[in-house]
Amino acid sequence: PARAMGLQDRGELAPGLRADLIRVRLSGAMPIVRGAWHQGERAF
């Protein structure tokens, strides 16, 4: 989707690209947030 919108600095996890990340695990069918990163810094 990022490339389709012409956004060349995001869309994958790679050095020099922008990326936010949410780490989750499943507890049954319920997703549980285990961590979050914004602009390369851990936020949670």
Each residue's pLDDT tens digit, 16-43: 888 888 999 999 999 999 999 988 789 9
Q: Are 37 and 43 in contact (CB under 8 A)?
A: yes
Alpha-carbon gap, residue 6 to 16, rounded angstroms: 17
DSSP state for residue 12 in the 8-state scheme: S
Q: pTM of this prediction?
A: 0.60
Residue with tokens 């949670």: 44
Q: Residue 35: what pLDDT?
A: 96
Residue with tokens 């990022």: 2
Query: Could you list the residue range(s) of the whole structural domain that residue 31 is in?
Result: 3-42
Residue with tokens 């050095």: 15
Angle 17-31-36 from CA coordinates, rounded to 5°: 35
Q: Residue 42: what pLDDT?
A: 92
Q: Residue 39: what pLDDT?
A: 80
User: What total of structural domains would you count in the chain?
Assistant: 1
